[in-house]
Amino acid sequence: MCITVIGGGLIGASWAALFLAHGHQVVVHDVAPDVELRVRQVLRQVQPSLEALGLSLDPETPRLRVEPTLASAVRLADWVQECGPERLGFKQQLWAEVESLCRADAVLASSSSGITASMQATRMRTPERMLIAHPFNPPHLIPLVELVPGKRTAPDILQRARVFYESLGKRVVVLRKEIPGFVANRIQAAVIRESVSLVRQGVVSAEDLDVAVTQSLGPRWAVGGPFLSAHLGGGPGGIQGFFRQFAGGLQLLWLHMRLRPVLLTRGAREALADEVLHSYGRDSIEVLSARRDAQQNAVLRALRPAAEPSSKLSSEESP
């Protein structure tokens, strides 16, 4: 398949690495003069992580090329993965241009982290072939892709998208309706909000808050999300037992959180940045990213064997 990635930044380069590792032809469109150097540098950085997942990636592969003009980039594309700035006007204008330049059967997918397909497609003549395919950073590593069809997205386009991303090893979640921020980012926003509040109140340091998450909710949610965890937390009574025991306390905590507004003012951002850099600034972003990817890969490899027996059993039981 020929895939055009619009935007050669962090998300676009990560997507490109995953597409290439699965044997696709990739064209990156970006107006930056050094985009090919930057993308190939990312390929070199993520190569060990992909190899740990059993995927082969040659950072110098000729299957990657860069096109500075949009028309040349999308002309032969089977699939367009947009990874541009999170600006509504930019995306609306971009899709209007892309649909006039690409093949009529090309699927148009946006990596947007919060702008819905219906909002992006207002200037399109063929909005039925456009949808959200939101990855979690970094796309080459984190399994989730949220598929969010717009009001006019065709059902066959949604199905094609599900099949395509699953062929990349992605775990696909299809949203039942559009909502700004989608699902995972809204959950993340709630966690970050309370994290900022706790650090700004002086309850805990930024580094210790990270420890509190990675040593409790992180491992718990890696094997069961909030609802499965609550179901198990209710003991023999399951989710009903959980609500009987904890509903009142949860409501009080939610009320307490609402009474404390969290504002990311310039002063708050500077204070938080100083604390984060004090904890993590001794290592470069490249070193921290490589360490994160290695640890994330170890978690994913550890989870895979535990998930295989049930999958195997299901396939064996199928007629």
Query: Which amino acid belongs to residue 190?
Result: A
DSSP sequence for 267-291: HHHHHHHHHHHHHHTTS-HHHHHHH
pTM of the model: 0.89
pLDDT digits 0-9 by tens, 102-136: 999 999 999 999 999 999 999 999 999 999 999 99
Q: What integer best gives the mean pLDDT of the chain?
A: 93
Domains, the chain, ordered by start = 2-174 (3.40.50.720), 184-308 (1.10.1040.10)
Q: Which residues of 151-174 are buried (b: 16+ CB within 10 A; e: fewer)?
A: eebbeebbebbbebbeebebebee
- pLDDT, one tens digit per residue, over 239-280 is 999 999 999 999 999 999 988 889 999 999 999 999 999 999
Let me know if 88 is exposed, middle or buried by CB neighbors in 10 A (0-12, 13-18, 19+): middle
At residue 258, the pLDDT reads: 87
Which residues of the chain register pLDDT less than 70? 305-319
Distance CA 38, CA 29 (A): 13
Number of H helices, E strands in the chain: 13, 8
Q: Would you state the torsion angle of the CA atoms of residues 260, 266, 272, 274, taken in this order, to the nearest 10 degrees?
A: -160
Residue 271 has phi, psi (to 5 degrees) of -65, -40
Query: Residue 304: what pLDDT?
Result: 77
